[in-house]
Amino acid sequence: MLNSDGDELVTSYWYPPDYLGATDNNNIQTLLNTNIIGKPIKIEKYKNGKIIEGQVQKLNQFGEPLEIYQYEATSNPIHENNQLVPVGYIRKVDLSYDPATQRINKVQLSNNNSTAFLWGYNNAFPIAKVENAAIANVAATSFEFDGKGNWTYTGTAIKDISVKTGSYYYSLSSGNITKSLSPGTYKLEYWAKAPVTVSGGTIASIRTSSPDANQWIFYESLVTASSAITLKLSGSASIDELRLYPIDAQITSYTYDPIIGMTTSTDPNGLTTYYDYDSFGRLKYIRDDKGNLIKANDYHYKGN
């Protein structure tokens, strides 16, 4: 293919059958045995015969990427069917998956920054993304559907129109909420309609907001664990949008209408953005944490 400047652009793809002799990925034969042959292992782009971009991904037995490499040399690489990662490719990303659901739960970059993911809604949607944290050290839930998000509790969430996020909240009168923690310092955030008893480790309050229009109050605390602890939230208050993460991490959490799409996103500062949809399932309004209109979409059908 030629671009507007007359340069020849070529994109080449290599798939599992192109690596029958590869010794640096034991999953190639498994992929072939299960007929997972349509996912590219290597993609290289050339301009006038010279490589300008290259990527290799090692796949797991389900055909999902485990390691991602990028080409950073200057000369064109040589393809060999017994070598998955040619000379000149540098490892950039490692991915890990929940063994039960096979959903991504960690993305590790080559600069050692990692991102953890929590999933809910029958593992269909991510309910939290936590940057610079391990999956074992984070927890987040809006009490929607099945999304306990690494918290432990036995009570049943309550559906209400005046929730903080999503469609449900939780009453602590129906049972405590707990999370096992390794030594470290964490931030605990939640919205509640009355004070909550928090125990386990050393708890220091950071801030408490004024009640919003629906009487939800934002609580933020520092949790210090000098040894392994069980953090516990108890009492009788209504609680929603409960998040826990290491102090040097950043969290963004989400709720959804599984049929339509995302209904809220709560950023690292605890500010929630609301997404409203019309009767056709189209995004209609975007509102800020105070309910102020940020954006409105108006849809019109073109006449004949």
Q: Hey, which residues does 179 pair with through a beta bridge?
A: 231
What pLDDT was estimated at residue 304? 55
For 128, 253, 298, the CA distances from 284, given in Å and listed in that order, are 24, 21, 7
Q: 106 and 82 in one domain?
A: no
Q: 113 and 67 in one domain?
A: no
Q: Which of 34, 64, 93 is the last residue of a domain?
A: 93
**Mean pLDDT (10-residue bins), the chain, 304 residues:** 84 91 75 91 92 92 91 86 87 88 82 85 91 93 88 95 93 97 97 96 96 95 97 97 97 94 94 93 92 87 61
Strand 293-296 with 139-141, pairing: unpaired
Q: Which of 93, 111, 139 is the last residue of a domain?
A: 93
Q: 282 and 137 in one domain?
A: yes
Q: 102 and 34 in one domain?
A: no
Of 173, 178, 138, nearest to 192 (Cα)? 173
Q: 111 and 75 in one domain?
A: no
In whole angstroms, what is the distance from residue 55 CA to residue 58 CA? 10
Q: Per this entry, what is the length of the chain?
A: 304
Q: 212 and 66 in one domain?
A: no
Q: Which of 51, 72, 93 is the last residue of a domain?
A: 93
Q: 195 and 137 in one domain?
A: yes
CB count within 10 Å of CB 101 equals: 12
Q: 282 and 145 in one domain?
A: yes
Phi, psi of 154 (to 5 degrees): -115, -15
What pLDDT was estimated at residue 82? 84
Q: Hey, which residues does 238 pair with through a beta bridge?
A: 171
Tell me the residue range of the domain where 261 lies. 98-304
Q: 166 and 251 in one domain?
A: yes
Q: 294 and 202 in one domain?
A: yes
What pLDDT was estimated at residue 69? 92
In whole angstroms, what is the distance from residue 15 CA to residue 141 CA? 39
Q: 173 and 113 in one domain?
A: yes
What pLDDT was estimated at residue 238? 97
What's the total number of domains in the chain?
A: 2
In whole angstroms, what is the distance from residue 275 CA to residue 297 CA? 11
In whole angstroms, what is the distance from residue 6 CA to residue 81 CA? 32
Q: 139 and 22 in one domain?
A: no
